[in-house]
Structure 1
Amino acid sequence: MFRNIKNYFNKKNLKDEKYSYLFENSSNEEYVCFDCETTGLNPKVDDIISIGAVIIKNNTIVSSKKFIKFVKPKTKLQAEAIKIHHIRECDLLHAEDINDVIIEFIEFIGNRPLVGYFLEFDITMINKYLKPKLGITLPNRALEVSEIYHDYKIEIIPQGHIDLRFNSIMEELEIPTLGKHDAYNDAIMTAMIFIKLKNLQKIK
């Protein structure tokens, strides 16, 4: 209910009616799992440097439909961030402009529900560029895998400590590890977590 009210007012700010379909209800069993790599962890001052996304349909990651983009940041890459994602300024010499990438990303995700780990941060980063461009924030339903995992575990061990770290969730669910801190690989691993949890517990 709250999301519907929020989107009612959100849609009024849409600058281009061509994108009104973003506010329509998703009609099929498809999700988009995505991840962003950034220059740092402060959405107010840091920029996106890469976005990776995959489509999930019928408990399957659709490998033929993927989104991988590198973005040229306006702010300087922080040393701590480079240690995590290993993306250097020289790796972004041929990266694209965020204003172009954000539109391509929106067209890729459509009105599908969004899945991610630490998803609130990624959505905040996307909204940083989307709001000035189209006047809106992402209207899509958001599904945070750490919350789904928590709800799953709390049923099994109501009084126990639940480790919500990404690596711990991966290990507990026996998900194979790919190269980490690459936006696309992180999106695939998160998608695998979601699919497994989706079949362990009812997700509407």
Structure 2
Amino acid sequence: MLFSFISKLKTKANRANLKDESFEFLFEEDRSGEYVVIDTETTGLDIKEDEILSIGAVKIKDNKILTSQTFEVFLKNSKEISSKSIKIHRIRPFDLKDAKTTEEGIVEFLNFVGSRPLVGYYLEFDVSMINKYTKKMLGITLPNRMIEVSEIYFDKSISLIPQGNIDLRFDTILKSCNIPNMGAHNAVNDAIMTAMIYLKLTKGSN
């Protein structure tokens, strides 16, 4: 009860900071019955210093992944992409020649997501990166409910291995859930694989 009250207060305060009324829809009650699984590719893991290179997302409804409704946007960045990060996300400067400005890309993302709940793997990082832009552009952070798949996996695993160390690496969770690795490491593929994990872990409970 107390947590719910505090959460409502935070949402109200967040909404009061909204600079553009055309984005009021982000705070409306979601009636779509859909979830949006998201993933970002970034220049690094420093939320303050690094930037988003791409955002991928896919919707889930009625325990089905709506692969016909995927979202992908590449964003222009102001810094040189390190060779180390290129090895991870395989996004080269050439791949960003037609990228959109961060403002354009974030607006497209917000319109795709709306007020739907967000699902992700280490979602807090992705949302924190996106919040860096929404805070500057709109004065707010994402108000969407967040669902972390690694937490669901941990909760299910700890009952089987109560005193063991739970391996929460993405590839380990994929293998444990008998989900094939799609290979190409990009935001959309990672979002789809995360969606598959989420459905496997929550089957029958949605």
User: Could you say which TM-score interval applies, normalised by the shorter chain?
Assistant: over 0.9
Q: 1:72 — aligned with what? A: 76
1:149-171: CA deviations, max 9, x gaps? 00111122222221100000000
Matched to 2:55, the amino acid is I
Q: 2:60 — aligned with what? A: 56
- 2: CA distance, partners of 1:31 / 1:125: 20
1:124 equivalent in alignment to 2:128? yes
Matched to 1:3, the amino acid is S
- 2: CA distance, partners of 1:180 / 1:42: 24
Structure 1 contact 37–181 (Cα < 8 Å) conserved: no
- 1: CA distance, partners of 2:30 / 2:157: 28
1:144 equivalent in alignment to 2:152? no
Q: 2:164 — aligned with what? A: 160
Matched to 2:36, the amino acid is V
Give 1:3's match in structure 2, choosing from 1, 7, 24: 7
- 2: CA distance, partners of 1:196 / 1:24: 29
1:18-64: CA deviations, max 9, x gaps? 21121122224310001000111111111111111000001111112
TM-score by length of 1: 0.95
Percent identical: 53
1:33 match: secondary structure: strand
Deviates more, 1:48-57 or 1:15-24: 15-24
TM-score by length of 2: 0.94
Matched to 1:20, the amino acid is E
Q: CA deviation at 1:14?
A: 0.5
- 2: CA distance, partners of 1:181 / 1:5: 38
Q: 1:182 — aligned with what? A: 186
1:84-136: CA deviations, max 9, x gaps? 01111111111111100100100000000000011111001101111111110
Q: 1:91 — aligned with what? A: 95
Q: Structure 2 stretches of 5 or more lacking a match? A: none
Q: Structure 1 stretches of 5 or more lacking a match? A: none
Q: 1:196 — aligned with what? A: 200
- Coordinate RMSD, CA, aligned: 1.3
Deviates more, 1:92-101 or 1:23-32: 23-32
Q: 2:28 — aligned with what? A: 24
- The count of aligned residue pairs is 202
Structure 1 contact 45–75 (Cα < 8 Å) conserved: no
- 1: CA distance, partners of 2:157 / 2:40: 27
